[in-house]
Amino acid sequence: MIGRLNHVAIATPNIAEAAKVYRDVLGAKVSDPVPQPDHGVVTVFVELPNTKIELLEPLGANSPIMSFLNKNPKGGIHHVCYEVEDIHAACAKMRAEGATITGTGEPKIGAHGKPVIFLHPKDFNGTLIELEQV
């Protein structure tokens, strides 16, 4: 069912510093920071030849990545995102498999303007998984 790896998301307490590391130390192509108030994060995309890295910094008091950063103060890998062809079919399959879909359990528009669901880490080896319809 899952297709390509769309991105790996890394949470950081300081997105300017994180972007600098990817740009200057690792020599990657890095986007400008984009505040996403609807999602409670600031994002920077790092373009790689075969995938993307999504840097995330909390935005606002109710940021969904705040508890992760409280547990991992220096940051860390927050989620991986796999592409699916049909988000509603993926959602139904995950429900049938007994996986826990976070939030309302229904697809919503993600940080890239595409429909997504998030799967709880407890069912997936401790990894938060985002499925994105492309």
Binding residues (CB under 5 A) for Co ion: these are 9, 81, 130
Which one, 27 or 59, has the nearer CB to Co ion? Answer: 59
Nearer to Co ion, 57 or 130 (CB): 130
Helix H, strand E, coil C: the string for 47-64 is: ECCCCEEEEEEECCCCCC
Smallest gap from Cβ 21 to Co ion, in A, equals 19
Give which of 125, 130, 113, 114 is closest to 65, Cα–Cα.
130
Of 47, 57, 106, 130, which residue is the catalytic one?
A: 130
106 carries an active-site annotation: no
- Alpha-carbon span 106 to 59, nearest angstrom: 23
- Kindly state the smallest distance separating residue 59's Cβ from Co ion, in Å: 15
- Nearest approach in angstroms of CB 79 to Co ion is 6
Cα–Cα distances in angstroms (integers) from residue 56 to residues 6, 106, 109, in the given order: 15, 23, 17
Catalytic amino acids? 130
